[in-house]
Amino acid sequence: MSKRDSVVLSSQEVEKQKDKILEIKHLLSDRKNKKAFIETYGCQQNVSDSEIIMGMLCEMGFKKTENKDEADIIIFNTCAVRENAELKVYGNLGALKHLKLKKPDLIIGVCGCMMQQEEVSKRIKSKYRHVDLVFGTHSLYSFPELLLRVIKSGSRVIDLLDTEGHIAEDFPVKRQEGPSAWVSVMYGCNNFCSYCIVPYVRGRERSRDKASIINEVKNLANEGYKEITLLGQNVNSYGKDLDEKIDFADLLNEVCKIDGIERIRFMTSHPKDISDKLIDTMAANKKICKQLHLPFQAGSNRILKLMNRVYTKEEYLEKIEKVKKKMPDITLTTDIIVGFPGETKEDFEHTIDVLEKVRYDTIFSFIYSKRGGTPAAVMEDPIPMEEKKENFDRLLDVQDKISYEKNKVLEGKVMKVLVEGMSKTDQSFMTGRTEGGKVVNFKCDKDMKGSFADVKITEAKTWSLMGEIIK
């Protein structure tokens, strides 16, 4: 058995699961108009996993619905990164009890990162008896087999693999509407940042084979997708576990060669791993969007050390300088944690300092949430929540100003926008994104969904831009 045999799901296993899909389709063939609803919590990796689950459900004969009340099957794909996401899941799951009483045939499933934690799955088992199916990230690909067991036996099925999940290729995927698609290039994380649950619930880093990724992107191009985002918890580790000598920059170059795909994005990069080669590859390749999401988490070197981030504030800023020098118009985004155990006012000032030096376009900021089983969970934390919240609010104030200023300079410029569809808030507007990933809303009397439009920016807002189409 080669090293890869234990990572990639065997074709026999894939075929077995596909047979289960057909068996379910057959079993449920007298139930016309079956509908499936998936609620996804957390990161893009979960969004991508949900697209695979929905793909399987569609092959079983279900139609996708956005309305829980009319669904015959409801799946919650959960996130364990912060406590508030978990609380939301418990709340929303509790609310399904009434629906199940009204519709006893309704199948309720819960999957994703939360389920990889033993105490969570135990709680679901004992307190949420209306849940029919529980499975973790590692058993994603056995979903057809598990669902078939639920349907045949009419009893609850709880499946929690604690061995690492396989990479499975060739399953159907039901993607979100629009011109952009997510493509996972690797799963898991080896970094063990001290606050983070991801390595425990998603396992070690596993890269997909280049050929499978290229094949998927070529198919997407043939289907008319224009933009892809390559996904992984730490994309810069791509290839380290493969027999083939390849790194993430090489992969990007290969993806750029595919005709039809005009924009390529990726996330997430770890500052310690972002190489000069990657920066040069980004700068040299027109198809690679000049947008970089580079989480710094905290500005204080003392806190960075406690977080096990393995870089200093100075090293981080140096990398950003390199990036800006090669790509002066780059859009920069980041993740920040406020209130890590013991983070003092003085520590926090360094976070503000990074914000002011880098001048990100957008930030994703979070108040630290204690995750059981991680090293940070047992660190002393004398800082009151009130102070953490004060710091958090200040962070947002500082950033809002920067975001607005960075958008303001775009007023009057003509930007190429990939149109995603109608604006959700005002149907007379279309919405799309710039190369940097900024949202642009603009009046347009024809449906330009899926095509590129030249849009003149007329007004900057803090989180988006208004524009008018250039005829």
Query: Choosing among ligand SF4, ligand 5AD, none, which partner's interface includes residue 368 (Cβ < 5 to 8 Å by kind)?
Result: ligand 5AD
Query: Choosing among ligand 5AD, ligand SF4, none, which partner's interface includes residue 191 (Cβ < 5 to 8 Å by kind)?
Result: ligand SF4
Among residues 61 and 232, whose Cβ is nearest to ligand 5AD?
A: 232
CB-based contact 375:201 (threshold 8 Å): no
Among residues 374 and 407, whose Cβ is nearest to ligand 5AD?
A: 374
Strand duo 263-267 + 227-231: pairing = parallel
Among residues 179 and 295, whose Cβ is nearest to ligand SF4?
A: 295
Least separation in angstroms between residue 337's CB and ligand 5AD is 5
Least separation in angstroms between residue 324's CB and ligand 5AD is 21
Residues engaged in binding ligand 5AD (CB under 6 A) = 81-82, 195-196, 295, 297, 335, 337, 366, 368-369, 371
451: helix, strand or coil: coil
Nearest to 264 by CA among 233, 288, 236: 288
Least separation in angstroms between residue 185's CB and ligand 5AD is 17
Q: Which residues contact 397 (CB under 8 A, 6 or more apart)?
A: none
> Which residue's entry shows tokens 């920066």?
279
Query: Choosing among ligand 5AD, ligand SF4, none, which partner's interface includes residue 199 (Cβ < 5 to 8 Å by kind)?
Result: ligand SF4
Least separation in angstroms between residue 409's CB and ligand 5AD is 28
Among residues 43 and 157, whose Cβ is nearest to ligand SF4?
A: 43
Least separation in angstroms between residue 341's CB and ligand SF4 is 15
Among residues 210 and 270, whose Cβ is nearest to ligand SF4?
A: 270
CA end-to-end span of the chain:
60
Query: Choosing among ligand 5AD, ligand SF4, none, which partner's interface includes residue 189 (Cβ < 5 to 8 Å by kind)?
Result: ligand SF4
Least separation in angstroms between residue 302's CB and ligand 5AD is 18
> Which residue's entry shows tokens 């698609």?
181
Query: Choosing among ligand 5AD, ligand SF4, none, which partner's interface includes residue 234 (Cβ < 5 to 8 Å by kind)?
Result: ligand SF4
CB-based contact 399:363 (threshold 8 Å): yes
Among residues 119 and 259, whose Cβ is nearest to ligand 5AD?
A: 119
Among residues 193 and 258, whose Cβ is nearest to ligand 5AD?
A: 193
Residue 235's region, left for phi above 0, alpha for psi from -120 to 50, else beta, is alpha
Q: Count CB neighbours of 288 within 10 A.
A: 22
284: helix, strand or coil: helix
Query: Choosing among ligand SF4, ligand 5AD, none, which partner's interface includes residue 192 (Cβ < 5 to 8 Å by kind)?
Result: ligand SF4
Please give the helix or strand (H or E) that residue 429 lies within, else none: strand 429-433
Among residues 205 and 347, whose Cβ is nearest to ligand SF4?
A: 205
> Which residue's entry shows tokens 């000032």?
349
CB-based contact 418:179 (threshold 8 Å): yes
Least separation in angstroms between residue 298's CB and ligand 5AD is 9
Tell me the C-alpha distance between 62 and 56, whole Å. Answer: 9
Query: Choosing among ligand 5AD, ligand SF4, none, which partner's interface includes residue 366 (Cβ < 5 to 8 Å by kind)?
Result: ligand 5AD
441: helix, strand or coil: strand
> CA angle, 427 as apex, 424 and 428 as ends, to 5°?
135
Hey, what long-range contacts does 318-323 have (CB within 8 A, 24 or more apart)?
Answer: 319/271, 319/274, 319/294, 320/294, 320/357, 320/358, 322/276, 322/279, 323/279, 323/292, 323/294
Q: What share of the chain is helix, strand, coil (3-state, %, to 5)?
A: 40, 20, 40
Residues engaged in binding ligand SF4 (CB under 6 A) = 189, 191-193, 196, 198-199, 233-234, 270
DSSP bridge partners of 109: 75, 133
Tell me the C-alpha distance between 234 and 189, whole Å. Answer: 7
DSSP bridge partners of 338: 367
Least separation in angstroms between residue 109's CB and ligand 5AD is 24
Least separation in angstroms between residue 293's CB and ligand 5AD is 9
Query: Choosing among ligand 5AD, ligand SF4, none, which partner's interface includes residue 131 (Cβ < 5 to 8 Å by kind)?
Result: none
Least separation in angstroms between residue 369's CB and ligand SF4 is 12
Among residues 270 and 438, whose Cβ is nearest to ligand SF4?
A: 270
Residue 288 DSSP class: B
Among residues 42 and 61, whose Cβ is nearest to ligand SF4?
A: 42
Which residue in the shown chain puts its C-beta closest to ligand 5AD? 335
